[in-house]
Amino acid sequence: MPPVDVEVLPPVCNEGESQHSADIAGTSDLGEVAFRKMMKRRWQLALAVVIVVGLNLAFLLSFWNRFLGPGVSGMFLEFASRLLSGKVPYRDFYVVVTPFYIFRTAAIVKLFGPSIAVLRLVDIGYRCALAAILVIWLSKVVRIPYAALGALAAIAVFSTDPADPLISYHLEATFWALIGAFLISYVKWEQRDSLRNISLICSSGVCCSICFFTKQTEGGGITLALFIVIAGLSIRDLGLRAAVLRLLAFCTGWILPAGGVLGWLASKGALRAFAIAIFADGPSAKGSPGHLLARVFVDGAGSWPGNAVYLLFAICTMCLVVQVVRKGRAAPFSAAPAMLPLTVIAAAGAAALLAGYAGGAFVLRSSVLAYSLEIWSILFGFFGVFSLAIYYTLILTRRSMTEAERQRWLLVMASFWICYTMSWSWVAWGPMAFPSLGVVIAFMLEDLLSRPRTSVLRYSFAAAAVLLLSVCEAGRVSCPFSWDSWTDDPIRNATASSRQPALNGIYMSPEMAAFVDRLTSLIHDHSRANDSVFIYSYQPLWYVLADRWPPTYAQVHFFDVAPDDLCRRDAERIVKARPALIVDFVDDSELWNEELFRAGQRSGQRDLHDQMYQLIHTSYRLEAAIPMKESPVPVRVFVLRSEE
């Protein structure tokens, strides 16, 4: 048979099958596009993190080892040294805060020896980690460039306080508070509980507990904030039973570190003393509860009529922030271009740092204007997150939240309680800016984008965020540290170093280096290894440098740290012990701030000071009076007279 030509026909299919095949092809294409967008966004986010961390690192490294700051730098170094020598906090010496930071500092000292430089480098690493986490978290609800700007402003102002020596338990507490809240941001609130959800919530409880045992006020604040968020979102989405289960997981996590710390204190016989120090003595040093809780809201200027201007600023800030956020309707931002804005941020940030360094290192001595800008930016962040916490809480009471609203509520609740509990130490100071200032800046930039005719305001906020970086840089290099009768010279004068091993790698002015070595030598020369010495009131670094310890229960006796009763008891201990040497750093006029912390009542520090000088007049001779810059009186060194 002749061959038969066979025509190959396309497969026969009906209309529905054809549409199904097309859908499969379209779905595949859409998935590939979504994957490419996701990877592009991740690269942009990684770049934003690198830019913010890099600029923050450049800011910190410009001054990190160019000042001494002994009043605060030496505090936890001394605590750690005592712990390593076998002493137990609360039982053997007074501590105004919970002990985790002492443990952490002691571990570093055990590994590397007593070194101010090492402790500062470790805490610089913490600050960079904080900046990175805030960028990542903010990028969930705002565009990446806005997240970068907000985080950059917040972390810069966080480190700009003149009393911040870069060794700070406030930093440690903020780190654990932010980690605890950040973990909660990954919970799937609308889903029935899985191992993933419970693990995240339990881990968050662990972090909040560590925060509490680093700084009790901030730890209590973040614990309350996350407890409210977990309860509110769980009840709204899944009901009371789910809320109870999640809260039990949070509390279980919280109890784990608490059990370890409290068990250790109990085994050392220090649990009762711990409870008294943290819940009785410590709060008494801050003033009445009512004044403490309300001060940041109504008494920020310290007196009237200045408080009237302060209240007006607070009200205007709250109204502005809520108005912008309430009317903001930003478009989806997952695929928004970010490379060019991030490049601009990097360039502008680098230029701001250079300008701030040049102005602070070579022109300014200190700037009242710069300090004022920092303070008002801190207050802007505080009142901004306060108003937003109220705004989003009201939304939750009326309806279920979107995922973006959940993230925003969590952010502002955590920010407000961190910031508010920090204000109990001082009305406005650097650590209060993180993360509150960054959250407010990022939210406002995002929500202004959808508003017509707001480009000028949006660009103004962006420029202000970069300007703050320059202001912070100028402030820290012109006056890297100032607190309690001690002000370090500008970094341009930090050309000398001390002979003390604990200060290796730390530079200061030649006059300060000579002062450090002279005072250390005086303590060594006029006391023996087992003698006690007393340094009044807030310079514990010399206890470590000279390897001598005070006869008092408290290490420092400053107006916002030491309770009145403890000061009076320590006055009796000084009279009884008759230390070999007494060093007085403080001019009388700087000691008493009784209106702020004592409601006008007599401070126990006055009694300690008076009894100390009665003892000096009867039993001591003036060995040296060492002049210091920025101090109206010299540092006086008194040596116990020999009994004939």
Summarised one tens digit per residue, pLDDT across range 217-267 is 999 999 999 999 999 999 998 999 999 999 999 999 999 999 999 999 999
pLDDT surpassing 50 at residue 392: yes
Q: Where are the alpha helices (DSSP H) in 400-454?
A: 403-422, 436-448
Q: Is 283 exposed, middle or buried (0-12, 13-18, 19+ CB in 10 A)?
A: middle
Bridge partners (DSSP) listed for residue 534: 582
Summarised one tens digit per residue, pLDDT across range 406-421 is 999 999 999 999 999 9
Q: Mean pLDDT highest for which of 243-257, 284-298, 358-372?
A: 243-257
Percent of the chain clearing pLDDT 90 (strictly above): 69
Q: How confident is the model at residue 594 (pLDDT cuts 50, 70, 90)?
A: low
Query: What is the predicted pLDDT for the residue at 595?
Result: 63
The larger pLDDT score, comparing residue 412 to residue 558, is at 412
For 316, phi then psi, to 5°, come to -65, -40
74: how many CB neighbours lie within 10 A of its CB? 28
Tokens 């294409």 sit at which residue?
29
Query: What is the predicted pLDDT for the residue at 17?
Result: 44
Pick from 624, 530, 549: nearest CA to 583: 624
Pick from 387, 437, 435, 441: nearest CA to 414: 435
The domain spans of the chain are 30-329+349-478, 497-640
Query: What is the predicted pLDDT for the residue at 280?
Result: 84
pLDDT surpassing 80 at residue 28: no
Query: What is the predicted pLDDT for the residue at 11?
Result: 41
Q: How confident is the model at residue 335 (pLDDT cuts 50, 70, 90)?
A: low
Per-residue pLDDT averaged across 533-540, rounded?
88
Pick from 128, 226, 211: nearest CA to 181: 226
Pick from 521, 517, 515, 523: nearest CA to 580: 523
Pick from 486, 439, 527: nearest CA to 182: 439
The separation between CA 261 and the C-alpha centre of its own chain, rounded to angstroms, equals: 22
The separation between CA 452 and the C-alpha centre of its own chain, rounded to angstroms, equals: 36
pLDDT surpassing 50 at residue 1: no
Contacts of 271 (CB under 8 A, 6+ apart): 262, 265
Summarised one tens digit per residue, pLDDT across range 481-530 is 988 778 899 999 999 999 999 999 999 999 999 999 999 999 999 999 99
Per-residue pLDDT averaged across 378-406, rounded?
95
**What is the enclosing helix (H) or strand (E) of 370?**
helix 368-398
Report the alpha-carbon distance of residue 404 to residue 328 in Å, rounded.
13
Per-residue pLDDT averaged across 355-362, rounded?
88
pLDDT surpassing 50 at residue 33: yes
Report the alpha-carbon distance of residue 171 to residue 175 in Å, rounded.
6
For 163, phi then psi, to 5°, come to -95, 10
- The b/e string for 543-567 (b: 16+ C-beta within 10 A; e otherwise) is bbbbebbbbbbbbbbbbebbbbebb
Q: Which long-range contacts (C-beta less than 8 Å, at least 24 apart) are formed by 344-350?
A: 345/51, 345/145, 345/148, 345/149, 345/152, 345/466, 346/51, 346/54, 346/55, 348/466, 349/51, 349/55, 349/152, 349/466, 349/469, 350/55, 350/58
3-state secondary structure of 144: helix
pTM across the whole model: 0.91
Which H, E and C letters describe 252-300, residue by residue?
A: HHHHHHHHHHHHHHHHCCCHHHHHHHHHHHHHHCCCCHHHHHHHHHHCC
Tokens 């200060």 sit at which residue?
503
Q: How confident is the model at residue 26 (pLDDT cuts 50, 70, 90)?
A: low
195: how many CB neighbours lie within 10 A of its CB? 7
Per-residue pLDDT averaged across 394-411, rounded?
94
For 362, phi then psi, to 5°, come to -120, -10
Q: pLDDT averaged over the chain? A: 89
Q: Where are the alpha helices (DSSP H) in 139-288?
A: 144-158, 169-184, 195-212, 216-238, 240-267, 271-276, 282-284
Per-residue pLDDT averaged across 564-578, rounded?
94
Summarised one tens digit per residue, pLDDT across range 153-200 is 999 999 999 889 999 899 999 999 999 999 999 999 988 878 999 999
